[in-house]
Structure 1
Amino acid sequence: MARSGDLDGAAEPELRVCRPARTDDITGLRHDLAGWLRALDVPGDLAGDVELAAYEAMINTADHAYPKTPGDVELTAHHEAGLIRVTVTDHGRWLPPTANPGPLHGRGLPLIRALPDDATVDPTERGTTVTMTWYPKGPGST
């Protein structure tokens, strides 16, 4: 899988990156995704939604999938005419949201569900996969 710095600026139809699920590395993944979206000329508002929803899914891996042991997060972004799909996968353990997460937590899953046109969260014993899909419409859509 590609790592940060491996992107050559070409508008490739797919981005695949794997990194440790640590805050600094996840920030790098967010920058990789933002660069990929720019290379595809994705309109600003849509790119912002994709970037934010993906970041929330990725940061959840650091906070919830691997709270005590290190692990990796995989980001796959795919583009074709009329579709952008982003998948975030970890191989940790799903922790259900707490009833009272406090003022700084608890917004990730609602954003993940609200920003894309379609979103699924699939927790299994082998990890969690979050799949988010956008169907751009109208002038300037990808």
Structure 2
Amino acid sequence: MDIPSSKQPWQEPDTSHPSSSGHVLRFAEIPAHPRQLHRIRHALSAWAAQIGMSGEQILDVALGTDEAMSNVVLHAYPVMPGIFDVHARYQPEDHHVTITVTDYGRWRPPAKAMNSDKLHMRGITLLNAVTTQTVITPTSRGTITRMRWAL
């Protein structure tokens, strides 16, 4: 598995911090395990409230990000344990929040991943329903799910 060496090991974030280009929250090298997801969800919800998102927007961010992270846990690493990163950015000047979930596993097309089990193919539909835009990019080094919300 090829993991960028510039990443710091997973740890609880100190705080979100404003920068000249907006507010940023980062999590690096999170173990792809279901027990990790609730901590990220809660931290993202607190961050979203801190930057002024409405209650409904916070729920959409939590649901969309949880779905993207759950896909990593369920699909990216079928044989061995893996990791993923979450990067959230608010840019006040364009009134958008962008959250990227990046794994370093192997892309599996949805229809083949669950033998066409329609129950398991609703994640992309859900992401499209709770975001302004979702782009999923499979690469040779993993999958990048970029979600964007207009505020």
Q: Sort the TM-score into its range (normalised by shorter chain).
A: 0.7 to 0.9
Counterpart of 2:138 (choices 104, 123, 141) is 123
Coordinate RMSD, CA, aligned: 1.7
Moved more, 125-134 or 34-43: 34-43
Q: How many residues align?
A: 133
Residue among 23, 31, 42 paired with 2:42: 31
Counterpart residue number, 1:106: 121
* Conservation of the 8 A alpha-carbon contact between 1:11 and 1:36: no
Q: 2:99: which partner in 1?
A: 86
**Residue in 1 aligned with 2:3?**
none
* 3-state SS, counterpart of residue 67 of structure 1: coil
Deviation at 1:102, TM superposition (A): 5.2
Q: Is the 2:17–2:25 Cα contact (8 Å) retained in structure 1?
A: no
Q: Which amino acid aligns with 1:91?
A: Y
Task: Identify the structure with the greater helix proportion.
Answer: 2
In structure 2, the CA distance between the partners of 1:3 and 1:32, relative to structure 1 (3 Å rule), is farther
Residue-by-residue CA offset, 1:62-109 (whole Å, 9 max, x unaligned): 100012211111100000111100000000000111353254x22211
- 2: distance between equivalents of 1:21 and 1:45? 27
Alignment-mate amino acid for residue 125 of structure 2: P
Distance in 2, Cα, partners of 1:101 & 1:15: 35
Aligned counterpart, 2:26 = 16
Deviation at 1:112, TM superposition (A): 1.4
Normalization by structure 2: what TM-score?
0.80
State the distance in 1 between where 2:66 and 2:135 align.
15
Whether 1:41 aligns to 2:52 is: yes
For residues 22 and 31 of structure 1, the distance between their equivalents in structure 2, rounded to whole angstroms, comes to 16
Which is further off, 14-23 or 105-114? 105-114
Gaps of 5+ in 1: 137-142
